[in-house]
Every structure is written in C-alpha cells, then in structure tokens.
C-alpha cells in the first residue's frame, strides 16, 4: 500500500524534516497510531504521533528547531512525551516503551522498548500500525497484527489477549466502543466478551477520561450504535446508570408502555441527523431521564410520567457534576431543553392561542429552534400516519412561532419598562411592589393584553401601580 502518497503535502514536508533529524540523532522514528489509521481510512487527522527508539523528547526538541513556525516544545516528563504545534497540527513524540499507555500514571515512564514492544502495548490492531520516517526506509508500513486487514474487515480487535490490553488501561473498553460507533466497525468477539467480563474495572478510570470517550460516542454519526454496546456490555451501568435504568417495560391490566431506553436512542439518532451540537445531543439523552421515578399507573389513563420534564431537569446538574461536564451555560442549556421538551408538542393541538405561542417563545428564548429540533426528534411512533400528522403540525407551529416572533419580538425579551423606570416614575426605593408591577407588565404582554412597546406598557404600569395605591408624584 502506497501510504506516503496519501499524506497531505504540507504534513509530508514536516515529517521528512523530522525523519532527517531522527537520522542525525541516529534514532529510528515512525508515524504511529491514529494518524496511520486515518490515512488508510482517508479521514482527516491533525494529531500526528511519532514514536522513536530512544528519546522522543530529544527528537521533538531538535525537530522544532528545524521547522519554521513550530511552537515551543512542551515536555511531559512523567509521560515521557513532548509535543509542539505547527499551525493547527499537533506533533506528539514518545520513546518506544515496554509499558502500556497509562495516562493516569504518576510514575515516570522509562523509554526502553523496541518498536514491537510499543506496538504490543497499544490498544487495537488498527491503532498499532507504524510507518517508518527515516530516510532509508521512508514510507515502510509495519503492521505486526494485521491492522490493515482489520481496517478492511471493519473490526476492532486488541493486539494481545484483550484481558491484558484492557487491564493495562480499562478506558480502552470505552475506546473500543467509541471507535465502533465513530467508524461503524464491529468489535471482535473475544475483544467484546472481555469488555463484558471486565466492565466493572472502568471504575478505576477518572471521570474526565470517561467523559471524553462518552462525548465522542455521542458525536458519532449514529450514536445508538455506541450506546447499545455500552448497555449490552454492562459499561453503561457504571458510566451513566440513569440512562441504563430507562431500559424496562412494565405491564399492568394488559397495558404496556414503551421502552424508554430504546426510545431515547431513537430520539438521539433522529436528532443527530440534524445537528452536530454536543449539548443538544445531550438534551436528547436526558430528555426522559426522570421517567422511572415519575412512573404511575392509573386505571383510567394507563401509564403516566407526569412531571418527568421537571424532575429530569433537576437531575441534570448531578449527572453533569459526576461526569465532570461543564457546569456553566452548557448545563443550564441542557436543563432548559429537558424542562421544555414537551411544550412544542402540547402546542400542536387545535385552537392554540397566540398567548401560548408567545409564552413558549418567551421561555425558550434563543433556544427555540433547538427545542423544536428536539421535539421533532422525539416523535418515534411506528405509525407513519401519526408521524406525518405530528410533523405537519410542527410545521404549522413553526409558522405561528415566526409570525408571533415577527410581531412581538419576544425572543430574548427585555421588558419595555425597567425596574429603574418604575422607581423613578413613582419615586420608590427598592421594594417588592416593583417586582409585582414588572410581573404584571410581562404577563399582560404575554397574554396579548398590551403590545410589547414602551407607551402602552407605561400606561399599564400606572394603572397597576394605582391598584397598589401608588401614584405619580406631581
């Protein structure tokens, strides 16, 4: 296979430069891991890993001097690695090692292996490919575990006995599933069975590292592939138990409800066809998360999950905290979408008032389009006619939303009368009456009693104040 031809021109020139430096340091050096895999798969790759027989740190330093526009070299002594960037490319250097790639280890890593040792210790055969970059054998592929064959067969397989590969770094169990989901590959039977056996060992891995892989699964083209593997292997029970708990169906008096785990995955896949936004995808994962604690059976209505959107929104911070996901605006955004996810569907019935449409716009603000995408993805009925009807009702709702938005400008609503205006007009110090008047103005605008404009709102404010016994000082 002529892999060198596949290397983009600008990357090739840097690699040749690094190869020259390796020659002058008398080191063997190789491109290794993801870059080789991605070259064969024709995927873009910006992380370029180089392994050398000897000091990767030395090679990084020397190479950086020779490459114009290379950044300063960052050295990670404990990992025995060094890296620099050139534009948007990241070059990472490591000395071949006998030990595995334990990223949590605080012990310095001894650079004492051969290329074979190094390849043995990598996670999967498709990630254990190396290409020589020394001048004499530039471009030679070293593929001891038939990684190329596994790429063709679309298989994820550990190079050694999977029990050994996973015990070196249990995160690799998540990585196997991440690659299966990202690349739409299958996991070789032994490599998969071993995940089932060792799933509990994921507990020793830091949540930060787990979340990185989880997010990559969520961002894959069809995330349900990854989540089904996580569930069936037992990993999901440790990583996101709340989601695993959605997998059940209860039956009473012959009435069953849908399996909310598989429903959630369908919603996630539906949504993923229309957005690459990680946090919007997270809102699909969590939209029904509180169905188990809110489930009731009523003789008349069958199974209900009243308030699951409110309880679900309250569960979001705990889940984000545990997974070390950002607790800032992203978390608030997911919470908001979970809380509001039923609102659009409730507005697709007949006789919906402008006031209800206005309230939805007001509550969703700038996230209204994302909320509509989530709500549309939430239609997973097997009945095609039903799906069609819901979708066309959504189209009608979208038109109503844009009409109301056009006339009332409620997205990112700022009250036409501020608290300051109320205080100045009535010569008031801060007091609870200001809040009462402000709320009344907001409600009147949302109900359509007055337009969203200064003059009518000012008149309305005077009337409301009068009701509270407050009048304008003359």
**Residues in touch with ligand CTP (CB under 6 A):** 33-34, 47, 49, 101, 122-123, 127, 169, 171-172, 175
- Which of 333, 284, 338, 283 has its CA nearest to residue 313? 338
Least Å distance, CB 165 to ligand CTP, is 8
**Among residues 19 and 170, whose Cβ is nearest to ligand CTP?**
170
CB 315 within 8 A of CB 286: yes
Distance of alpha carbon 469 from alpha carbon 474, whole angstroms:
15
**Among residues 49 and 370, whose Cβ is nearest to ligand CTP?**
49
**Among residues 122 and 359, whose Cβ is nearest to ligand CTP?**
122
Least Å distance, CB 360 to ligand CTP, is 39
DSSP 8-class letter at 429: P
Least Å distance, CB 157 to ligand CTP, is 13
Least Å distance, CB 171 to ligand CTP, is 5
**Among residues 47 and 449, whose Cβ is nearest to ligand CTP?**
47
Question: Tokens in use for 374?
Answer: 């989530």
Least Å distance, CB 33 to ligand CTP, is 3
Burial class (CB in 10 A: 0-12, 13-18, 19+), 456: middle
Least Å distance, CB 231 to ligand CTP, is 22
Least Å distance, CB 236 to ligand CTP, is 19
Max Cα–Cα distance, the chain, nearest Å: 95
**Among residues 110 and 391, whose Cβ is nearest to ligand CTP?**
110
- What H or E segment, with its residue span, contains residue 92? strand 89-95
When CB distances to ligand CTP are compared, the closest residue is 34
- What H or E segment, with its residue span, contains residue 298? strand 296-298
Q: Are strands 155-156 and 186-187 parallel, antiparallel or unpaired?
A: parallel
Distances (CA, A) of 203 to 46, 174, 210, 212, 237: 31, 12, 10, 15, 11
**Among residues 11 and 401, whose Cβ is nearest to ligand CTP?**
11
Least Å distance, CB 32 to ligand CTP, is 7
CB 211 within 8 A of CB 155: no
**Among residues 169 and 242, whose Cβ is nearest to ligand CTP?**
169
**Among residues 122 and 257, whose Cβ is nearest to ligand CTP?**
122
DSSP conformation letters of 131-187: EE-SSTTTT-EE-TT-HHHHHHHTEE--SS-HHHHHHH-THHHHHHHHHHHHHT-EE
**Among residues 33 and 344, whose Cβ is nearest to ligand CTP?**
33
- Which of 100, 132, 125, 96 has its CA nearest to residue 111? 96
Question: Tokens in use for 137?
Answer: 């054998």
Distance of alpha carbon 399 from alpha carbon 92, whole angstroms:
52
Least Å distance, CB 106 to ligand CTP, is 16
**Among residues 131 and 401, whose Cβ is nearest to ligand CTP?**
131
Burial class (CB in 10 A: 0-12, 13-18, 19+), 250: exposed
Least Å distance, CB 4 to ligand CTP, is 19
**Among residues 15 and 171, whose Cβ is nearest to ligand CTP?**
171
Least Å distance, CB 104 to ligand CTP, is 10
CB 122 within 8 A of CB 129: no
Neighbours of 351 (CB within 10 A): 5
Angle at which helix 278-286 crosses helix 260-272, to 10 degrees, equals 160
* Those residues with Cβ within 8 angstroms of residue 262's Cβ, 6 or more apart along the chain or in another chain: 247
């Amino acid at each position: 296979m002529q892999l060198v031809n596949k290397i983009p021109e600008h990357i090739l020139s840097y690699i040749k430069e690094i190869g020259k430096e390796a020659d002058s340091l008398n080191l063997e050096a190789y491109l290794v891991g993801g870059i080789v895999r991605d070259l064969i798969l024709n995927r873009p790759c910006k992380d370029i890993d180089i392994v050398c027989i000897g000091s990767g740190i030395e090679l990084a330093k020397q190479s950086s001097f020779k490459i114009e526009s290379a950044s300063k070299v960052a050295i990670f002594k404990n990992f025995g690695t060094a890296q620099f960037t050139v534009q948007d490319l990241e070059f990472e250097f490591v000395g071949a090692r006998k030990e595995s790639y334990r990223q949590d280890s605080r012990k310095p890593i001894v650079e004492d292996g051969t290329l074979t040792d190094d390849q043995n210790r990598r996670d999967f055969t498709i990630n254990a490919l190396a290409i020589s970059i020394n001048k004499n054998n530039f471009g030679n592929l070293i593929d001891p575990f038939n990684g190329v064959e596994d790429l063709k067969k679309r298989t994820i397989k550990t190079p050694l006995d999977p029990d050994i590969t996973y015990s070196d770094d249990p995160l690799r169990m998540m990585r196997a599933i991440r690659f299966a989901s990202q690349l739409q590959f299958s996991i070789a039977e032994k490599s998969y069975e071993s995940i089932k056996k060792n799933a509990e060992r994921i507990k020793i891995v830091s949540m930060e590292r787990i979340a990185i892989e989880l997010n990559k699964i969520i961002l894959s083209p069809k995330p349900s592939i990854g989540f089904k593997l996580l569930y069936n292997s037992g990993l999901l029970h440790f990583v996101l138990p709340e989601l695993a708990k959605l997998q059940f169906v209860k039956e009473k008096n012959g009435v069953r409800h849908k399996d909310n785990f598989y429903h959630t995955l369908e919603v996630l896949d539906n949504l993923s066809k229309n957005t690459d936004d990680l946090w919007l995808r997270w809102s699909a994962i969590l939209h029904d998360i509180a169905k188990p604690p809110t489930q009731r059976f009523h003789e008349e209505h069958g199974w209900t999950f009243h308030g699951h959107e409110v309880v679900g929104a309250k569960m979001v911070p705990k889940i984000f905290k545990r997974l070390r996901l950002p607790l800032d605006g992203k978390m608030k955004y997911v919470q908001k979408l979970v809380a509001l996810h039923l609102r659009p569907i409730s507005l697709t019935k007949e006789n919906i008032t402008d006031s209800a449409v206005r309230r939805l716009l007001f509550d969703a603000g700038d996230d209204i389009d994302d909320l509509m995408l989530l709500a549309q993805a939430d239609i997973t009925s097997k009945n095609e006619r039903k799906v069609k009807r819901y979708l066309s009702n959504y189209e009608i709702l979208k038109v109503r939303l844009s009409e109301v938005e056009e006339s009332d400008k409620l997205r990112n609503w700022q009250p036409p009368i501020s608290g300051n205006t109320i205080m100045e007009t009535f010569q008031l110090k801060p007091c609870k009456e200001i809040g009462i008047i402000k709320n009344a103005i907001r409600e009147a605008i949302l109900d359509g009693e007055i337009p969203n404009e200064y003059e009518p709102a000012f008149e309305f404010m005077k009337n409301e104040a009068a009701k509270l016994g407050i009048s304008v000082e003359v």
